[in-house]
Chains A and B, each alone.
Chain A
Amino acid sequence: MRWNSKSENILEEQEMMVKIRFFARFRELLGTDLITEAAAGTMFTSLIITVAKKNPEGYAAIFDENGVFHEYVILMKNGKRIDIADAVMTPVDDGDEIAIFPPVAGG
């Protein structure tokens, strides 16, 4: 920790507010429009694991037994799709909107 970086560290340690939106079956199991706190440096996948663990059925709908997103799950961050492989190392930022949903079925 640098001597003159006290204010920076305070900022880094502040909780971020992230909006998580589940849809369709995931919404029924886990809710939607969840405003959740996340520590600076939290990664996309770890945040969703934490939230989804509140409902075992919801967790099982999204993650496999190894804590990896099921292949069919679609991930978005601020309107852009995120690959499952990249989500592990994708940080979330304050004010982000994350969307998690099953394959689309419109039309």
Chain B
Amino acid sequence: MIAIQTDDVNIGDLVIAAKRRGTGAVVVFDGVVRDDDITEMELEAYEDFAIKELEKIAKNATEQFKLLHVDIIHRIGRLLIGENILIIIVAAGHREEAYAGSRFIIEAIKGSVPIWKKELTKDGGRWVPGEHKHGSGKPRSNRAMNTSIFLLPVISVIFHLG
């Protein structure tokens, strides 16, 4: 399932659906709205293109890490503190591939998928700057491996059967 949507998803159901013959590990990445002295977060996307980018990222991750299943659900609209923003579910034969595939997907999303976040505060709001500052001009230094300062990544291995 690759989706950009306003609605939340049932992560448990997705984990169950991700398991198939040969699955030894399922990794769930759940990016949530952190309480950074904000009231809400508003997200918008260039949906047509963002979906294509997510599909491309999922395909690349599947090929590179021999993944058995990938779900990427990115939410848009207004979200409250603690709500899910981005859910990535990856199934693989072994934990190494599952962890690496999940990490690859989140870093790729931060680098190329046209989605933006605005932190709403009681005094107004502020757009969250992207971690990759380069645009269509000459690229600056690569900041690809910076960890997120805007999300509280909750990464957990739900099943490790391998």
Residue ranges of A at the interface with B (Cβ–Cβ < 8 Å): 21, 23-25, 27, 69-76, 79, 81-85, 87, 99, 101-107
- Whether A105 lies near B116 (C-beta < 8 A) is yes
Q: A79-B49, A104-B110, A107-B86 are in contact. Are A24 and B136 (CB under 8 A)?
A: no
- Whether A102 lies near B113 (C-beta < 8 A) is no
* Complexed CA–CA distance, A106 and B51 (Å): 12
Q: 4 shortest A-B CB distances, which residue pairs?
A: A106-B115, A103-B130, A71-B137, A24-B116
Task: Provide 12 A-B residue pairs closer than 8 Å at the C-beta atoms, listed in order of the A residue.
Answer: A21-B46, A23-B44, A23-B116, A74-B136, A79-B52, A87-B136, A102-B127, A103-B129, A105-B110, A105-B117, A105-B128, A106-B113
* Complexed CA–CA distance, A72 and B140 (Å): 9
- Whether A105 lies near B134 (C-beta < 8 A) is no
Which A residues are in CB contact (< 8 Å) with B106?
107
* Complexed CA–CA distance, A42 and B9 (Å): 45
CB distance from A32 to the nearest CB of B (A): 9
A-B contact count (CB 8 A): 104
Which B residues are in CB contact (< 8 Å) with A83?
136-137
Chain A CB within 10 Å, residue with most, of B110, B148, B151 = B110
* Complexed CA–CA distance, A107 and B43 (Å): 10
Asked if B65 is at the interface (CB within 8 A of a chain A CB), the reply is no
Which A residues are in CB contact (< 8 Å) with B160?
none
Which A residues are in CB contact (< 8 Å) with B134?
71-72, 103
- Which size class do B's interface residues fall under? 35 or more
Which A residues are in CB contact (< 8 Å) with B114?
23, 74, 99, 101, 104, 106
Q: Could you say which of B48, B117, B137 contacts A69, with CB atoms under 8 Å apart?
A: B137
- Whether A107 lies near B136 (C-beta < 8 A) is no
Asked if B132 is at the interface (CB within 8 A of a chain A CB), the reply is yes
Chain B CB within 10 Å, residue with most, of A69, A87, A99, A105 = A105
Asked if B45 is at the interface (CB within 8 A of a chain A CB), the reply is yes
Which A residues are in CB contact (< 8 Å) with B115?
104-107
CB distance from A37 to the nearest CB of B (A): 23
Q: A104-B112, A104-B113, A104-B114 are in contact. Are A79 and B48 (CB under 8 A)?
A: yes
Asked if B122 is at the interface (CB within 8 A of a chain A CB), the reply is no
CB distance from B57 to the nearest CB of A (A): 11
Asked if B109 is at the interface (CB within 8 A of a chain A CB), the reply is yes
- Whether A75 lies near B136 (C-beta < 8 A) is yes
Q: Could you say which of B46, B49, B111, B136 contacts A73, with CB atoms under 8 Å apart?
A: B136
Which B residues are in CB contact (< 8 Å) with A70?
135, 137
